[in-house]
Chain A
């Protein structure tokens, strides 16, 4: 997501599979020759945490930016905007999805769950939230909404049977504070409670 006058050369290098090969620096973006077009906004309705949200958006708006900048649902976090960190993880129809790599328009008609939708109406925490709290499965808390939603997905997928499975299937969610062992403990704590619920 960087202007090409900085990054095209790099992508070209890596794409060529020769990170040290010499390539001339591009002097400017190739798109400069293409006249800008404004595609008309589209209207759509997103169903989030059981509630319908009508929206008017440019078609290129990601689900992450729609949640954060258009609906003030700031629990989903931007950590890389390119599908590397997992901080933007939400559930779509119960499956974990990277909202930064999902166009908002493609989520219409599906059930989106964000961190704001997990606790009960009385404020009772979801078993996974409660387990993260009790196991100190976070420090700064920034990756935590994504970790928790990913953890719920991990349990539902059946990938939380053994600690080594949890570690493997939670490795798409980076935690720079490195709360990893506590995240594994939280998932082990929450799993039977989720299954009972």
Chain B
């Protein structure tokens, strides 16, 4: 074993416990799971965004040797029911149900599934399937005729309230310093490197699905609802996930269709959807348009903040991210008005993508803050210091902890911010204009109900079972660390089993909640085991000690006075064999039905900014150097630095990787990523990962992550704040602000490209 791997308590940096499997090719992702004699499925997706299927000619496709069947709306027999929209108490990420009728509701909707003996035959037959459409003019989004604008409040049936306080418009009108501007963010796609795949297998009426999932219990229960099955008859296995970033959080419609195909063929069916199909059969980050007004007094203290945003969504689904929930709470300001609207268009339903609300809305707010700093003649860090607050301004609730300014101070010192000449276009190296920018980053601290089973065997090994997910965040490792800490065992003695809906349910791997939620319940299970061992230690070396003072440490039960009993002996007193504990936890502040919802596979995260007593979030400060070529306007980010405070860091090694990856995601979002849509046809143009640009190794020379120590006492017993989505939030504005500093040109639309600064 590598150095350090045996020492893996909370706060240490062991290498990943699943690292060896990942570097040897032994880690099995969904499409790697072997099933006997699978048939292959190939999707055929719509060539129009709105209209009707006029005719389907299957003859040439069916003539391909090896073709077994073709599913279309004509051959479906109502096998797939409605699982409901996840945000309305259901399961599905989109309520658009393909193959239910002849309607086409967005580009790339599944219109047929070809089933064949081999993948090559399925692919060939899919190419030979002829579909004729009766096309209608689609609305692509902003500026399209026929798109329908509604307020988020109205779309939610009144359950969503735009946060606000005071009279922002009047205060803005009277403010000494004012900035007002429009911002735009594009459609973006997660593009995890693992494709969207599904393998379905039926055995004696039981369905097993192998599919990369951020929420195996949600997928299991949603599938059961769609197929009219007892959830106990459905199992979802997802031991490793090849990247997710939100794309695998909610049920997509393909899964039930592949299950139906497998039931019809009476053999396992395997689907590996193509990269371009992945752009339309799963979700994406919605395009936004935003308007921000900031008013301040002559000292730079905010007196008015207005933030309005409009987000594109599908015709049927009121999906929203409403990042105003965050942007209205960050800075002290007595007058705030926000409004979120939705634009229904002929698009697939968007969904969660890493830092869903914060990324687009913080781009606008933090750009506007930089504009205000410039207008006020203040250093952008000083502006944030003057508006820092330990209470959010909407309800006046305290932050459980907040280390924004320590992050700015630490980051500024490491970055060399004091050397910055504040004047735009003032820093230059040869032909390159140099710009330094910074921005606040924030991610709310979410928590969810969770369950886990922990088994300690007399040989000093522990097994932890919880249906959490490894999407690259290091969950296997941090869960093992929690058990190693709780049971006083070396990390190598802890086995963690996850990613299987037959295991005790864990929350969706979203909202950066899992490390806090799952480690907490695992520690509770370990505490119950400790308590049983301590209660039984009435004789032997620990006789007479107060059981409450006994601790499990280094393979023994130990008293504060140094007396100790080896674990095997302590276990022999407490049990004849293994000790097994099943723990359930509802985090403080979450409703009592949170556990029930967890067992039903319904997402019910709490905490964050929704609390009644307090609000909680992780903060950070991000610093970027950009270089813009004075003649070609080529844009580069030679270095980027983030200083972050997120309570207790369970594993600094994996946490650093998360934040580093987040910063690079931010570079991609700011400079590269946009899914281009043909506004007339409402179809994607660059649906592949050569033309949908994501950062490559050469794009990121230097990334530095600093941790600012922070003690969090309220959020959860371990003091953990999730950080998987903290890194990429501030980056967009930090880069735009640096571009302004380099060039004097304020770019308010992402991504920032050569043509943006010419």
Residues of A within 8 A of B (CB): 1-7, 9-10, 13, 19-20, 22, 25-29, 31-33, 35-36, 38, 58, 60-61, 65, 68-69, 72-82, 84-85, 87, 114-116, 118-119, 125, 129-130, 132-134, 136, 138-145, 148, 163-164, 166-168, 170-184
Q: Does B707 contact A (CB under 8 A)?
A: no
Question: Once the chains bind, are A82 and B688 in contact (CB under 8 Å)?
Answer: yes
The interface residues of chain B lying within 8 Å CB-to-CB of A4 are: 127
Q: Does B159 contact A (CB under 8 A)?
A: no
Instruction: Bits for B53-73, please: 1 = Cβ < 8 Å to A, else 0.
Output: 000010010011110000000
How long is the Cα–Cα vector from A58 to B124 in the complex, in angstroms? 13
Question: Once the chains bind, are B272 and A78 in contact (CB under 8 Å)?
Answer: yes
The 10 closest A-B pairs by CB, nearest first: A75-B25, A142-B242, A140-B472, A141-B22, A139-B472, A178-B664, A28-B130, A115-B25, A74-B32, A171-B696
8 Å CB contact of B243 from A74, A75, A116, A177: A177
Question: Once the chains bind, are A141 and B130 in contact (CB under 8 Å)?
Answer: no
Q: Does B418 contact A (CB under 8 A)?
A: no
How long is the Cα–Cα vector from A3 to B74 in the complex, in angstroms? 19
Beta-carbon nearest neighbor of A20 in chain B:
B678
Answer whether A145 and B25 are a contact pair too, CB < 8 Å, given A81-B274, A164-B701.
yes
8 Å CB contact of A79 from B194, B240, B241, B474: B194
How long is the Cα–Cα vector from A65 to B31 in the complex, in angstroms? 12
Question: Once the chains bind, are B24 and A136 in contact (CB under 8 Å)?
Answer: no
Question: Once the chains bind, are B657 and A166 in contact (CB under 8 Å)?
Answer: no
How long is the Cα–Cα vector from A133 to B654 in the complex, in angstroms? 12
How long is the Cα–Cα vector from A77 to B22 in the complex, in angstroms? 12
Instruction: Give chain A nearest CB distance to B573 CB in angstroms.
Output: 38
Question: Once the chains bind, are A125 and B472 in contact (CB under 8 Å)?
Answer: no
Question: Once the chains bind, are B697 and A171 in contact (CB under 8 Å)?
Answer: yes
Answer whether A136 and B25 are a contact pair too, CB < 8 Å, given A35-B63, A181-B700.
no
Residues of chain B at interface, number, CB under 8 A: 96
How long is the Cα–Cα vector from A177 to B664 in the complex, in angstroms? 9
**Among residues 671 to 728 in chain B, which have CB atoms less than 8 Å away from a CB atom of chain A?**
676, 678, 680-681, 683, 685, 688-690, 694-703
The interface residues of chain A lying within 8 Å CB-to-CB of B702 are: 181
Instruction: Give chain A nearest CB distance to B660 CB in angstroms.
Output: 6
The interface residues of chain A lying within 8 Å CB-to-CB of B245 are: 176
Question: Once the chains bind, are B24 and A125 in contact (CB under 8 Å)?
Answer: yes
Question: Once the chains bind, are B20 and A142 in contact (CB under 8 Å)?
Answer: no
Instruction: Bits for B13-53, please: 1 = Cβ < 8 Å to A, else 0.
Output: 00110111111111111011010000000001111100000
Beta-carbon nearest neighbor of A13 in chain B:
B685
Question: Once the chains bind, are A9 and B15 in contact (CB under 8 Å)?
Answer: no
Question: Once the chains bind, are B129 and A133 in contact (CB under 8 Å)?
Answer: no
8 Å CB contact of B18 from A5, A69, A79, A141: A141
22 residue pairs bridging A and B, Cβ less than 8 Å apart:
A3-B45, A5-B44, A25-B135, A25-B681, A28-B130, A28-B131, A29-B129, A33-B60, A35-B63, A79-B275, A81-B274, A82-B688, A134-B2, A136-B16, A136-B654, A138-B22, A139-B474, A140-B241, A140-B470, A142-B240, A143-B193, A177-B472
How long is the Cα–Cα vector from A25 to B132 in the complex, in angstroms? 10
Question: Once the chains bind, are B688 and A84 in contact (CB under 8 Å)?
Answer: yes
How long is the Cα–Cα vector from A123 to B24 in the complex, in angstroms? 10
Answer whether A77 and B47 are a contact pair too, CB < 8 Å, given A10-B685, A138-B22, A140-B242.
no
The interface residues of chain B lying within 8 Å CB-to-CB of A13 are: 685
8 Å CB contact of B45 from A2, A61, A78, A114: A2
Question: Once the chains bind, are B46 and A182 in contact (CB under 8 Å)?
Answer: no
Instruction: Bits for B717-746, please: 1 = Cβ < 8 Å to A, else 0.
Output: 000000000000000000000000000000
Instruction: Give chain B nearest CB distance to A145 CB in angstroms.
Output: 5
Residues of B within 8 A of A (CB): 2-3, 15-16, 18-29, 31-32, 34, 44-48, 57, 60, 63-66, 108, 118-120, 123-124, 126-133, 135, 190-195, 240-245, 272, 274-277, 470-474, 653-654, 656-658, 660-661, 664-665, 668, 676, 678, 680-681, 683, 685, 688-690, 694-703
8 Å CB contact of A133 from B20, B46, B689, B697: B20
Question: Once the chains bind, are B695 and A60 in contact (CB under 8 Å)?
Answer: no
How long is the Cα–Cα vector from A163 to B126 in the complex, in angstroms? 45
Answer whether A140 and B701 are a contact pair too, CB < 8 Å, given A65-B119, A115-B24.
no
The interface residues of chain B lying within 8 Å CB-to-CB of A82 are: 275, 688, 690
The interface residues of chain A lying within 8 Å CB-to-CB of B471 are: 140
Known: A36-B124, A142-B29. 11 other contacts (CB 8 A): A1-B274, A1-B276, A2-B274, A85-B689, A115-B24, A134-B3, A139-B658, A140-B194, A173-B697, A178-B660, A181-B703
Beta-carbon nearest neighbor of A4 in chain B:
B127
Question: Once the chains bind, are B65 and A181 in contact (CB under 8 Å)?
Answer: no
How long is the Cα–Cα vector from A168 to B694 in the complex, in angstroms? 15
Instruction: Give chain B nearest CB distance to A193 CB in angstroms.
Output: 14
If over half of A's interface residues share one DSSP class (helix, strand or loop), that class is named, otherwise mixed; here it is loop
8 Å CB contact of A177 from B60, B240, B661: B661
Beta-carbon nearest neighbor of B130 in chain A:
A28
Beta-carbon nearest neighbor of B29 in chain A:
A142
The interface residues of chain B lying within 8 Å CB-to-CB of A6 are: 44-47, 108, 276
Question: Once the chains bind, are B23 and A138 in contact (CB under 8 Å)?
Answer: yes
The interface residues of chain B lying within 8 Å CB-to-CB of A172 are: 696
How long is the Cα–Cα vector from A49 to B695 in the complex, in angstroms? 32
Answer whether A171 and B654 are a contact pair too, CB < 8 Å, given A77-B29, A77-B242, A80-B275.
no
How long is the Cα–Cα vector from A46 to B509 in the complex, in angstroms? 41
Question: Once the chains bind, are B133 and A27 in contact (CB under 8 Å)?
Answer: yes
Question: Once the chains bind, are B243 and A25 in contact (CB under 8 Å)?
Answer: no
Instruction: Give chain B nearest CB distance to A30 CB in angstroms.
Output: 10
The interface residues of chain A lying within 8 Å CB-to-CB of B124 are: 36
Beta-carbon nearest neighbor of B131 in chain A:
A5
Question: Once the chains bind, are A27 and B132 in contact (CB under 8 Å)?
Answer: yes
How long is the Cα–Cα vector from A2 to B44 in the complex, in angstroms? 7
8 Å CB contact of A36 from B20, B23, B128, B470: B128
Question: Once the chains bind, are A167 and B689 in contact (CB under 8 Å)?
Answer: no
Question: Once the chains bind, are B129 and A140 in contact (CB under 8 Å)?
Answer: no
Instruction: Give chain A nearest CB distance to B285 CB in angstroms.
Output: 14
How long is the Cα–Cα vector from A26 to B194 in the complex, in angstroms? 30
How long is the Cα–Cα vector from A6 to B127 in the complex, in angstroms? 9
Question: Once the chains bind, are A79 and B118 in contact (CB under 8 Å)?
Answer: no
Instruction: Give chain B nearest CB distance to A105 CB in angstroms.
Output: 13
8 Å CB contact of B24 from A2, A61, A118, A143: A118
8 Å CB contact of A2 from B243, B277, B701: B277
How long is the Cα–Cα vector from A36 to B120 in the complex, in angstroms? 13
Question: Once the chains bind, are B242 and A5 in contact (CB under 8 Å)?
Answer: no
Beta-carbon nearest neighbor of A84 in chain B:
B690
The interface residues of chain B lying within 8 Å CB-to-CB of A35 are: 60, 63
How long is the Cα–Cα vector from A32 to B44 in the complex, in angstroms? 15
The interface residues of chain B lying within 8 Å CB-to-CB of A167 are: 697-698, 700-701
Question: Once the chains bind, are B696 and A174 in contact (CB under 8 Å)?
Answer: yes
Instruction: Give chain B nearest CB distance to A29 CB in angstroms.
Output: 5
Beta-carbon nearest neighbor of A184 in chain B:
B697
Question: Once the chains bind, are B192 and A170 in contact (CB under 8 Å)?
Answer: no
Question: Once the chains bind, are B657 and A116 in contact (CB under 8 Å)?
Answer: no
How long is the Cα–Cα vector from A166 to B243 in the complex, in angstroms? 24
Answer whether A178 and B128 are a contact pair too, CB < 8 Å, given A9-B47, A133-B19.
no
Beta-carbon nearest neighbor of B32 in chain A:
A74
Question: Once the chains bind, are A179 and B657 in contact (CB under 8 Å)?
Answer: yes
